[in-house]
A and B are shown apart, each in its own frame.
With several copies, the nearest count.
Chain A
Amino acid sequence: MHPEEVIQRRVAIELKPGSLVNLGIGLPTGVSHYVSHADNILFQSENGIVGMGSRPPEGMADEDLTDAGGAFVMAVPGAATVDSGMSFGLIRGGHLDVTVLGGLQVDERGYLANWMIPGRMVPGMGGAMDLVSGARRVIVAMQHTAKGGPKIVPQCTLPITATRRVTLIVTELAVIEPTDEGLVLRERGPGVTIPTILDGTSAHLIIPDVVPEMKLAAVLAAESQVA
């Protein structure tokens, strides 16, 4: 299984029926492929829509209906559009249940760095700082390492996105929960051993007696996909 699929299917399990969810551009967006329509999960996009749908079929795009990356989307029945003030009111005001974001680094404090690499890549924070500060739950969905180097580190060397501890880190190797005591290893990836996880992690991990293998959301029939 491709690492991205593992991550997306594991994150999908975290999304409770009826919740409001913001998925970052890239890997997080793919989580929606594993969410059942029956769960009535609403996707919010910070450019101003609650109830974002999937990509429109060829020829049915509208330039006034896009996602935060500028790509065309559809709206689900019961969607609402809002201006940028209210969009971030929903985010900052604690009305967003979950945000799923990519990460460059996460550290033992549970702090996320995901918006710049000084001198090399300065895209700007966009909505990331508001999302990490304001969402009720922050899930970091990222590959465990980058070019073989650890991304889960003792302390972020890259500029952090917020001084708020994220809720959960999901990689293809592990599910890790930041706590008062530090980073706790909660689950292992499919067929992954604890030494493999430790190998790819420079942060200290607290290892409970039992670390089960992660469950993954089912692969849905194409017609159930919402985005």
Chain B
Amino acid sequence: MKTAISAAAAADLIPDGAILMIGGFMGAGSPHPLIDALVDAGRKNLTVIANDTARPGFGIGKLVTAGAVTRVITSHIGMNPETQKGMLSGRIEVELVPQGTLAERIRAGGYGLGGVLTKTGLGTLAAEGQRVIEIDGEEWLLAKPLKADFALIHADRADYQGNAAYQLTATNFNPLMATAAPTVLCETREILPVGTIPPDEVGTPGVLVKYLIGRRM
């Protein structure tokens, strides 16, 4: 059985300077209560691995606004001028990664693979400083696996064993991130009795989840 805790208690587990993966795509499917709790706790110096930094005042954007983030690995910051300003001023280190490559790098980290071989980004700025591997006369970019200290994910529902089920486009990076950190915190709309989520609906087996954070706690 997994421990169900409050968002504030979850934030207490996460120290300044931690490397976090945070699920969501422009805020959809992000663990909003966990983000709020990190802001309230005044966390600093966080590294955030996420698809995007949403918008100021929304989702991961709240962490940027609060000055909690000093490094992001992400595919898109176009909707958040604060992240862009932070990058241009040098306050926030930003590593931009093509979205599909970001997804595969996270999966590789979680699945025990040594890297990702993709054509995406070949010959562009995204390839700078990265290795090109030739296989049977074709060139592939080698992108390295990503891991985090904590993965903060959102699921539609979960059971007390930690089994998590996702809904529609709120799925996005959440199931991938749930594999790539030793401590996975799963924020969810409802925590259900074990046995009530059919095995085929489980997107993340409970063995990957350490803490559950319900919205009605």
- What is the size category of the interface that chain A forms with chain B? 35 or more
Interface check B90, CB cutoff 8 A = no
| B87:A122 contact, CB within 8 angstroms | yes
Segment among A42-50, A178-186, A213-221 that sits at the interface with chain B: A42-50
Bound CA span A48–B174, Å: 12
Stretch of B4-12, B36-44, B69-77 with 4 or more beta carbons under 8 angstroms from chain A: B69-77
The reply to whether B179 and A47 contact each other, CB–CB distance below 8 Å, is no
A95-B207 contact in complex given A46-B99, A125-B76, A129-B126, C-beta closer than 8 Å: yes
Select A68's contact among B26, B103, B163, B207, beta carbons within 8 Å. B26
Q: Is the beta-carbon distance between A47 and B100 smaller than 8 angstroms?
A: no
Q: Does B123 contact A (CB under 8 A)?
A: yes
CB <8 Å contact, B170 and A83? no
A residues 15-73 touching B (CB-CB < 8 Å): 20, 40, 42, 45-51, 62-70
CB proximity to A under 8 Å, residues B75-116: 75-79, 84, 87-88, 94, 96, 98-104, 107, 110-113
**Quick one: given A84-B176, A88-B100, A126-B76, are A49 and B199 in contact (CB under 8 Å)?**
yes
Docked complex Cα distance between A212 and B212 (Å): 42
> Judging by beta carbons under 8 Å apart, are A65 and B168 in contact?
yes
Distance A90 CA – B156 CA, assembled complex (angstroms):
22
The answer to whether A78 and B76 have CB atoms under 8 Å apart is no
Q: Determine which of A20, A64, A93 lies in contact with B167 in the assembled complex, contact meaning CB atoms within 8 Å.
A: A64
B194 close to A (CB within 8 Å): yes
- Residue B45 at the chain A interface, CB threshold 8 Å: no
Min CB distance, B162 to chain A, in Å? 9
Q: How far is the CA of A162 from the CA of B98 in the complex (A)?
A: 11
A60 to chain B, nearest CB (A): 14
* Cβ 8 A contact of B173, one of A68, A84, A93, A159: A84
Provide the residues of chain B in CB contact with A79, threshold 8 Å. Answer: 199
A87 vs B200: C-alpha distance when bound (angstroms): 13
A124 near B76 with CB under 8 A, answer yes
Interface residue range, chain B: 35 or more
Given contacts A75-B168, A84-B103, A85-B176, contact A126 B75 (CB under 8 A): yes
Whether a CB of chain A sits under 8 angstroms from the CB of B172 is yes
**Is the pair A82, B118 in contact by a Cβ cutoff of 8 Å?**
no
For residue B17, CB closer than 8 A to chain A, the reply is no
- Tell me how far the C-beta of A40 lies from the nearest C-beta in chain B, rounded to whole angstroms: 7
B65 within 8 A of partner (CB): no
Question: How many inter-chain residue pairs (CB < 8 Å) link A and B?
Answer: 210
CB contacts (< 8 Å) of B129 on chain A: these are none
Q: Residues of B contacting A4 with CB < 8 Å?
A: none
A105 in contact (CB, < 8 A):
no
* A99, CB-defined interface residue at 8 Å: no
B74, B94, B122: the one within 8 Å of A162 (CB): B122
Bound-complex Cα distance A50 to B74 (A): 23
* Chain B residues, Cβ within 8 Å of A42: 207
* A195 touches B (CB below 8 Å): no
Assess the B28–A81 pair: CB atoms within 8 A: no
Contact A129 B112 (CB under 8 A): no
Contact A49 B123 (CB under 8 A): no
- Which of A48, A51, A85 touches B25 (beta carbons < 8 Å)? A48
Give complex CA distance A79, B202 in Å: 9
How far is B202's CA from A42's CA once the two chains are assembled, in angstroms?
15
A83 / chain B contacts, CB cutoff of 8 Å: 103, 166, 171-176, 203
CB-based contact B205/A80 at 8 Å: yes
Q: Which 7 A-B pairs have the closest CB atoms?
A: A123-B78, A88-B100, A70-B26, A77-B195, A92-B112, A163-B123, A89-B111
Give 11 new A-B contacts, CB below 8 A, not counting A47-B26, A92-B119, A94-B112: A48-B25, A49-B168, A75-B168, A80-B205, A81-B199, A84-B51, A88-B104, A116-B125, A129-B126, A133-B120, A134-B119
6 pairs of residues in contact across A and B, judged by CB atoms under 8 Å: A47-B169, A70-B79, A78-B163, A83-B166, A92-B120, A125-B121
